[in-house]
Amino acid sequence: MAFSLTTRKEIIDHLQSEALDLLIIGGGITGAGVAIQASSTGIKSGLIEMQDFAEGTSSRSTKLVHGGIRYLKTFDVEVVSDTVKERAIVQRIAPHIPRPDPMLLPIYDEAGATFSLFSVKVAMDLYDRLANVTDPKYTNYTISKEEVLKREPHLKAENLLGGGVYLDYINNDSRLVIENIKKAQEKRVSIILCK
């Protein structure tokens, strides 16, 4: 059964008459992912959403498919390694969704700062290695205070030392949810919007 407005009544009838193993409430990325996983393991499932797909929590994400460079401050290399591997999977299976977006991390000389200029360079080098960043146009680098303020003039200048620039990815989160919803439906998950 195709997933469309024209098949909505059929899907509702199916959900009302068919015994399900699992009813998923919520059509964000979590619900869509659960639907795919459940159908892949043979669990008869349905998914309902009261608004529109990716309209709730999923629409309020950071839009990043990032690797969590901040975890390197506490030497949690395993977390970063896992997240950049997951990001690589998204890039491989849906290359049209994430796009490269270099990030600027300003470095301040103040108590409790996450990184110094030295430690951010070490962290970014490790981050690039874990993420297998080899393209020279995306490898990390540091910039001066003046360059940081030129790029981001609204940042506080006081105690600013410079910055680090490293590769992360912007994610079209709504598109990712829809791709997952479509895949779940292909795997015979009954999906409806309750509007």
Token pair listed for 75: 């030497």
Identify which of 55, 52, 38, 50 has the alpha carbon closest to the alpha carbon of residue 189: 38
Can you give the residue ranges of every domain in the chain? 5-60+174-193, 69-171
Each residue's pLDDT tens digit in the chain (195 positions)? 566 777 778 888 888 888 999 999 999 989 999 999 998 898 999 999 988 888 887 778 788 877 788 888 888 899 989 988 888 888 888 888 888 999 999 999 999 888 999 999 999 999 999 988 889 999 999 999 999 999 999 999 999 999 999 999 888 888 888 888 888 888 888 887 776
Residue type for position 41: T
Token pair listed for 119: 């430690």
Predicted TM-score of the model (pTM)? 0.73
Q: The domain at 5-60+174-193 falls in which architecture? A: 3-Layer(bba) Sandwich (3.50)
Predicted pLDDT at 2 = 63
Largest CA distance in the chain: 66
Query: Torsion angle, CA of 169/174/180/182, rounded to 10 degrees?
Result: -140
How far, in Å, CA of 163 to CA of 121, rounded?
Answer: 9
Place of tokens 């430690």: 119
Identify which of 134, 143, 141, 131 has the alpha carbon closest to the alpha carbon of residue 169: 131
First vs last C-alpha separation in the chain = 20
